[in-house]
Structure 1
Amino acid sequence: MTVRTSELNVVVKGSGLPIVFLHGYGVDHRTFLPCEDVFTDDEPWQRIYVDLPGFGGSPAEGTAPNADAFLALIERFVDNRIDSRFAVVGNSFGAQLARHLVGAFRDRVVGAAFFSPVLVDPRDATLPEKVFPRSNRELRDRLDPVERALFRANAMDQSWGAWDRFARCVLPGLQVYDREFGELLRASFVPVERVEYEKGSVDIPALLITGRQDTIVGWSDQQILSRTYTRMDNVVLDACGHNPHVDRPVAFDSCFREWVRRVAAELRS
């Protein structure tokens, strides 16, 4: 079910405990399609996939192009829409929004998962040495030049299977986001007030997945999250860039599936 609010395009699936999914820069809610594969119709989870302003089906109008405005918008969205306990999932830029929700609704958040999260301004991030993926000549010759360049820049795995995953969940967002708004957002990518979102240790089932070859946000800065999230599974995937669900789908699925199981166990305890 797709829901229009005054500001956001939201896709809702299932019913039960809400899980709020917040995507990264340049993509939209479809980047989380592999997560949907984990859930079945008979499980009590309501998945709330949000298109952030300027991305997917959400217009940029009415939202300032800076991280602080996004934080306020997402907090207001949750405050108005969810009155129960819930979990959060954040990818890249969306992970700092998810972390803000953990701090803002501390007593109600029962689980948190972060994929390739932004920890600092990407211009200041500790990045690994660039590793260029081995070219797939057959794939290279058959793809549109623009699509080929986007795929090569965003995927370590250059197989046809990886291309299918990229074309399904990453490329659609890259093709439609508001580029003018996006460029303004890049200049204000992290909040002005760089406070610790969580304000102390957090004792909930948590998951961190990073890619060892991620040259967009890196993986080493993110390790500090294990100090805050005392029950965090921390996975650094080799042969993996910024999109672990594209480069390492089996490992990604296993880690996410286990996190969902842990959150379910937490609710039963």
Structure 2
Amino acid sequence: MNIKINGLNINYEIKGEGKPILLLHGWGANIESFRPVIESLNDNFKVITLDFPGFGKSQEPNNPIGIFEYADITEKFIEKLNIVNPILFGHSFGGRVSIILASKLKINKIVLIDSAGIKPKRSKKYYLKVYTYKFFKKVASIPGINLILKEFMEEYRNKAGSSDYNNASPIMKKVLSKVVNEDLRKFLPKIKSPVLLVWGENDTETPLSDAKLMNTLLQNSGIAVLKGVGHFSYLEKLNEFLIIINNFLEEDK
């Protein structure tokens, strides 16, 4: 199904009946990344999923937008579909959107899965990469030098950049650059709903230390750690994940 929000065609899916659960996927993913979770939950809940703009079958934004624009689009999606007091599931990037929404809307419960939202501490090596690239970019603006450096800069950027960045379209590269620099920890104390933090023990994208920090800032939360898995913990240990969330949602069935 499709719905137009802020001039963009948004692809979404609804399955099952019951209290609403809204699943928000991570960067580079789409509705299908939650397929096993959808199939497990739709016997007891109305499960709603969408492709964020620029992912899956949804339209790419015309201009680079940030996390607050993504949250605004999702809030309008909730309003247009008349989704009342939903349970939010947010993985990684979807966790960012969930944090913003839960800080101001009436939300039943939240499950943050390997969620982004804490700005990472950068190493000296990271800043060396960034400033080296900026230096060459500035030099490349000098007439006559651009063609010489263009190929070198492209190769350097591909080596230095993350796979998410390198695989993105030109607009989505700019979107990612805006999104990753937003630190959302100030929104966490505003969340009154119960929050379950589900994390992969070996997550290197959003480390377990992020979950522990979030847990100290949230009013009503707990952490479930999935041993020996990484950033897609809910898929890597699907059965354990489903047992955990079914317990968390038992009274909502």
**Deviation string, structure 1 residues 41-94 (Cα, Å, up to 9, x no partner):** 4x3x21110100100011113463322221222222223332522111100011
How many residues are paired up? Answer: 210
The match for 2:149 is none
Q: Give matches, 1:138-177, under 5 Å.
A: none
The match for 2:229 is 240
Q: Are the equivalent residues in 2 in contact too, given 1:110–1:263 (CA < 8 A)? A: no
Q: Are the equivalent residues in 2 in contact too, given 1:68–1:190 (CA < 8 A)? A: no
The match for 1:169 is none
Matched, 1:15 2:17: yes
The match for 2:197 is 208
CA shift, 1:104, in A, is 1.9
User: Per the alignment, do residues 242 and 38 of structure 1 end up closer, same or farther by CA in structure 2, a change over 3 Å counting?
Assistant: same
Using CA pairs under 8 Å that are at least 6 residues apart, name the structure with larger relative contact order, 1 or 2.
Answer: 1
The match for 2:103 is 103
Of residues 108, 111, 114, the one that matches 1:113 is: 111
Q: Are the equivalent residues in 1 in contact too, given 2:234–2:241 (CA < 8 A)? A: yes
Match for 2:208: what amino acid? W
Matched, 1:80 2:80: yes
The match for 1:5 is 4
User: Per the alignment, do residues 33 and 219 of structure 1 end up closer, same or farther by CA in structure 2, a change over 3 Å counting?
Assistant: same
**Deviation string, structure 1 residues 5-49 (Cα, Å, up to 9, x no partner):** 3431111112332211111101111111121232254x3x21110
CA shift, 1:194, in A, is 4.6
Q: Are the equivalent residues in 2 in contact too, given 1:26–1:55 (CA < 8 A)? A: yes
The match for 1:187 is 177
Aligned mates of 1:19, 1:114 — CA distance in 2 = 13
Identity of counterpart residues, as a percentage?
20
Aligned mates of 2:238, 2:59 — CA distance in 1 = 31
**Deviation string, structure 1 residues 191-217 (Cα, Å, up to 9, x no partner):** 75856224535242x211111211111
User: Per the alignment, do residues 79 and 236 of structure 1 end up closer, same or farther by CA in structure 2, a change over 3 Å counting?
Assistant: same
**Deviation string, structure 1 residues 236-264 (Cα, Å, up to 9, x no partner):** 22210101123222211211222221444
Match for 1:121: what amino acid? K
User: Per the alignment, do residues 203 and 25 of structure 1 end up closer, same or farther by CA in structure 2, a change over 3 Å counting?
Assistant: closer
The match for 1:196 is 186
Aligned mates of 1:230, 1:193 — CA distance in 2 = 18
Superposition TM-score, scaled by structure 1 size? 0.68
Higher mean C-alpha deviation, range 239-248 or range 55-64:
55-64
Aligned mates of 1:229, 1:88 — CA distance in 2 = 15
Aligned mates of 2:19, 2:63 — CA distance in 1 = 28
Aligned mates of 2:78, 2:247 — CA distance in 1 = 25
Aligned mates of 1:104, 1:52 — CA distance in 2 = 20
Q: Are the equivalent residues in 2 in contact too, given 1:237–1:244 (CA < 8 A)? A: yes
Match for 2:3: what amino acid? R
Q: Are the equivalent residues in 2 in contact too, given 1:54–1:178 (CA < 8 A)? A: no
Aligned mates of 2:214, 2:245 — CA distance in 1 = 17
Aligned mates of 1:225, 1:202 — CA distance in 2 = 13
Matched, 1:90 2:79: no
User: Per the alignment, do residues 194 and 113 of structure 1 end up closer, same or farther by CA in structure 2, a change over 3 Å counting?
Assistant: closer
The match for 1:30 is 32
Q: Give matches, 1:45-60, under 5 Å.
A: 45-60=45-60
Higher mean C-alpha deviation, range 235-244 or range 248-257:
248-257
User: Tell me, what secondary structure is at the counterpart of 1:38?
Assistant: helix
RMSD: 2.8
Superposition TM-score, scaled by structure 2 size? 0.72
User: Per the alignment, do residues 12 and 5 of structure 1 end up closer, same or farther by CA in structure 2, a change over 3 Å counting?
Assistant: farther
Q: Are the equivalent residues in 2 in contact too, given 1:89–1:95 (CA < 8 A)? A: yes
